[in-house]
Amino acid sequence: MKRVSLLTKFIILMTLLVVIPVLVVGIRTLYLNRKVSRKLISLGSEALKTTLLEYQTSIALNYAEKVSNYFENIIESLSLVMTEDFMGLNLSEKRRFLASIYATSRHIRAIIFLRRENPLIVIPERFHFEKEKFLKEIHKLNPGVLKIGEVYFKDNTPFIDIIYTLNNTDSIVVVSSLDELWREIENEKFGSIKSGYVFIVDGRGRIIAHPKRELAIKKEDATNLEIVRELLEGRSVGSKEFRDENGTPLVGAYAPIELTGWGVIAVQPKSDAFATVFLMEEDSKRFSKILRRQALYFIILFIIIGIIIAFLTARSLSKPIFTLIEGAKRVARREFTKPVILKTKDELSDLAQTFNMMMRELKKYDDIQADKLDAIVFSIKDGLILLDEEGNLILANRIARDILKIEGKEGDFILNLIKEERGRKVFEELLKELESGKEEIKKEIDLSLEDVPRYFLATPHEVRTRDGEKIGYVVVVRDITLEKEIERMRDEFLHSITHDLRSPMTSIRGFLEVLKEEQAGPLNQQQKSFLDIMDKSSERLLNLINDLLDTAKMEQGKFEIKPVEFDLKEVASSIVDSLKGQAMKSGIELTFECEGNDFKVYADKELIERVYTNLVGNALKFTPSGGKVTVRVFEKDGYFLSEVEDTGEGIPPEYLDKIFDKFQQVGRKKGTGLGLTICKYIVEAHGGKIWVESKLGEGSKFSFTIPKKANGE
């Protein structure tokens, strides 16, 4: 049988179904379309455009007049205040007079009469206002001047202040609500499909009234709109076609509000505004009917021919294509056993043979990669879990399945497969942190039994292709039971030995004190020097023992908080004063700053002193000569914030997360590594937080908060 190529079949089909009908129908369509176009062009649209712009201009003028009338009514209500008769009234009569104005105006929310800097009359009496804001504006005005302030929002309600200076000492402030007028503007919709709207800008082009009130609340800058710039430059009535920041064509009109310096703008999308032009559709329909009627006969004829040819040709083309599609789906599922068989004797048959060759090569490659992956994954002694970006399981080795009791097939959501309840909760938190984009995630899983401790550490890492595309996560689950047990044994050893050392060390220090006071006999200068060295060394050792014991008590929850009321500023200041001698000796500037009025706090005074002493002492230790250490205390809502900032060496980034852990030290400075750990325990025991910010080479800032009524009451 002679072979007919797929290209030839395709050319015949397209010629019969597309070219001939398009040529015949297209020629007729172009001929009639030209006649219709000439008809529409002759009608024109200039008159409609002019009418539309005049309509929008009337809307802008209407709202400009409403705003002006609003303020004129308020000013008229205050006209009697601007007379000498009002100034002759006593304070009680003035109060009644202003109360009558307040009662007769539904827009006025408050009236305030100020003499110099004192509000003598406030109507209503419970009205809360910012006196400093009013005084700032009044000081700018000459006597006899009335000023309309800027629009501002409280609880999403627009307000405006109107200030009138009666003389050098007396002023009237009227606080007025714009909510009713603003809602009328926001609800204004015009046009045939109600797509037009109105908004107001102030003298700097910022939106102060808009259907989207959030734009007015944040005073969105609208000077990027050409119509707003034209309004601000011309300060007259006008209209314009323009585009918004997204390039959408708009039609609008504007009118200034002379009294306030604002402007009203009425806007509508151009496509909706000129929808009236399509009223000429009736004429177009008459011509379209002629077009359809003449073209219909040709279309029906070619549709019948096209259906017959398309059916015969599509049957021979679609079946092998669907066969290839099914084969491709099997390859996507990694099913390489069943080949694609086609007997079309054209290019599709060649394509099927090439497809089968590709399938065989993919099977070989897949087998090789699977063997490599299995050898690597299942030889690792740690648990290994591979997830896609949605958290679905791709692969889990035997150790991970045993640890977390993973049951089910790959491809399902990991939380549905983990049967170990404690492990599932940890993985739920881990997935949330991965979704939030958090870095350096480490989650400890406690799977201990009654008598058998079992601890594991889950650490996720991103999996990326060679091109850097993220395709999922690999979670390594490592057994840290031995590390935890060693840490527990170390802590128990330290707690035990410190208890055993404390009593002898206390006795040693007692006898040293007896010797230094020469109760056991006179001492020469060298002996006194030796005893001083022994006393300082024993004191450091006793402090270390006390720190270890305090840490142990804190870890066991046995540390006692003894809260009393004291002044936090005085405590911080006294610690700074006590360490200034050490700072001066080291050539370091030590300063104290505070912001606030009341620093009374209910907490354990001695422990808070210990926090300040440790933090300031550390800052002095790590700050070189010529540096500066600053201690600050701030009063906040419900808590106090303290900061100790230095210009020292700074802390390397790798230490920031563990600086408050036990025995952690930065650099080669001497210390126990327990000071910051104790600070953390003390602050958290009071219900506060402590943290550090640092840049290497620039210094560090330790901050902590203490509630005004801390835990322990």
Q: For residues 412 and 469, state if they share a domain.
A: yes
Name which residue leads in pLDDT, 344 or 210. 210
Reading the block at residue 428, the tokens are 């739920």
DSSP E strand stretches across 33-107: none
Least confident of 98-102, 190-194, 220-224: 190-194
C-beta neighbour count of 2 within 10 angstroms:
4
Around Cβ 191, how many Cβ atoms within 10 Å?
A: 19
| Helical spans, DSSP H, in 333-413 | 347-377, 398-404
Q: Are 471 and 388 in contact (CB under 8 A)?
A: yes
Confidence of residue 393 (pLDDT cuts 50, 70, 90): confident
In whole angstroms, what separates CA 159 from the centre of its chain? 29
Q: Is residue 652 part of a domain?
A: yes
6-32 mean pLDDT = 60
- Greater pLDDT, 433 or 17: 433
In a domain, 43, yes or no: no
Looking at 181, 205, 220, the residue that finishes a domain is 181
**Is 37 or 651 the better-scoring residue by pLDDT?**
651
| Domain total in the chain | 4
Report the DSSP beta bridge partners of residue 385: 396, 475
CB atoms within 10 A of CB 656: 15
Each residue's pLDDT tens digit, 261-297: 899 999 988 877 766 555 554 555 566 666 666 666 6
Specify the DSSP element, H or E, that contains 545. Answer: helix 525-555
Looking at this protein, which amino acid is placed at residue 391? G
Residue 269 lies in a domain: no
* Integer Cα distance of 177 and 34 in angstroms: 59
- Lowest average pLDDT, out of 108-117, 232-241, 406-415, 535-544, goes to 535-544
Q: 């870095």: which residue's tokens?
A: 439
- Domain presence at residue 24: no
Give yes or no for a cis peptide into 124 (omega within 30° of 0): yes
User: What is the DSSP track for 485-525?
Assistant: HHHHHHHHHHHHHHHHHHHHHHHHHHHHHHHHTTTTS---H
Q: What is the Cα–Cα distance from 294 to 292, expressed in whole angstroms?
A: 6
Q: Say which residues have a Cβ less than 8 Å from residue 384's Cβ, sequence separation at least 6.
A: 377, 395, 396, 397, 399, 400, 474, 475, 476, 477
DSSP states of 415-453 as a string? Answer: HHHB--HHHHHHHHHHHHHHHTT-SS--EEEE---SS--
* pLDDT tops 70 at residue 217: yes
Which pLDDT value is given to residue 439?
74
Indicate whether 153 belongs to any domain: yes
- Residue 135: pLDDT over 90: no
413 with 540, same domain?
no
Dist CA 636 CA 412 (whole Å): 49
Same domain? 525 vs 464? no
419 — phi, psi (to 5°)?
Answer: -90, -20
Which strand ranges, in their side-by-side order, compose the sheet holding 455-464?
393-396, 383-387, 470-479, 455-464, 443-446
Residues 572 and 665 in one domain: yes
Residues 399 and 470 in one domain: yes
What is the C-alpha to C-alpha distance for residues 688 and 674, in angstroms, rounded to an integer? 19
Are 213 and 186 within 8 A, CB to CB? yes
Q: Which residues pair with 63 in a beta bridge?
A: none
Whether the per-residue pLDDT at 387 is higher than 80: the answer is yes
Q: What is residue 713's predicted lDDT score, i.e. its pLDDT?
A: 44
**For the ranges 162-171, 550-559, 685-694, the one whose mean pLDDT is highest:** 685-694
Partner residues linked to 387 by β-bridges:
393, 473
Question: What average pLDDT does this structure show over 61-89?
Answer: 82
Is residue 689 included in any domain, yes or no?
yes
Query: What is the full DSSP assignment across 9-49?
Result: HHHHHHIIIIIHHHHHHHHHHHHHHHHHHHHHHHH-SHHHH
Whether the Cβ atoms of residue 248 and residue 269 lie closer than 8 Å to each other: yes
Question: Does residue 470 sit in helix, strand or coil?
Answer: strand
Token pair 């009469």 is found at 113
pLDDT digits (tens, 9 = 90+) for 44-62: 456 667 777 888 888 888 9
Q: CA nearest 144: which of 124, 126, 160, 168? A: 168
Q: Taking Cα atoms as reference points, which of 272, 225, 277 lies closest to residue 247?
A: 225
**Where among 445, 476, 507 does a domain terminate?**
476
Residue 21 pLDDT more than 70? no
Q: Is the pLDDT of residue 529 over 50?
A: yes
Average pLDDT, the chain: 79
Query: Is the residue at 194 inside a domain?
Result: no
Instruction: Report yes or no: 336 and 55 within 8 Å, Cβ to Cβ.
Output: no
Q: Which of the two residues, 209 and 135, has the higher pLDDT score?
A: 209
Last residue of a domain, one of 520, 549, 578: 549
pLDDT of residue 43: 47
- Do 120 and 143 belong to one domain? yes
CA distance 187 to 196: 11
Cα separation, 110 vs 471, whole angstroms: 62
Question: Quick check: is 162 in a domain?
Answer: yes
525: domain range? 486-549
Sequence-distant (6+) residues with CB within 8 A of 185 are: 63, 198, 199, 200, 209, 211
CATH number where 467 lies: 3.30.450.20
pLDDT in the model for residue 44: 46
* Same domain flag for 113 and 78: yes
Comparing 161 with 327, the larger pLDDT belongs to 161
What are the structure tokens assigned to 118, written together?
């004192």
| Tens of pLDDT, residues 460-518 | 888 887 777 888 888 888 888 888 787 777 666 656 655 555 566 666 767 667 677 77
Confidence of residue 335 (pLDDT cuts 50, 70, 90): confident
At 708, the pLDDT band (50, 70, 90 cuts) reads: confident
DSSP strand pairing (699-707 vs 197-201): unpaired
Distance CA 185, CA 566 (A): 56
Residues 203-212: what's their mean pLDDT? 90
Residue 276 Cα distances to 51, 441, 701, angstroms: 11, 62, 68
668 and 625 assigned to the same domain: yes
Calculated CA dihedral for residues 50, 56, 59, 63, nearest 10 degrees:
-130
Tell whether 569 and 676 lie within a shared domain: yes
Q: In the numeric block, which tokens belong to residue 100?
A: 């009558």
433 with 508, same domain: the answer is: no
Q: Which is higher by pLDDT, 521 or 224? A: 224
Task: Specify the DSSP class assigned to residue 344.
Answer: -
551-603 pLDDT tens trace: 666 665 556 778 889 999 999 999 899 888 888 988 999 999 988 778 899 98
Residues 491/663, Cβ–Cβ less than 8 Å: no
Query: Are 453 and 578 in a shared domain?
Result: no
471/492 same-domain check: no
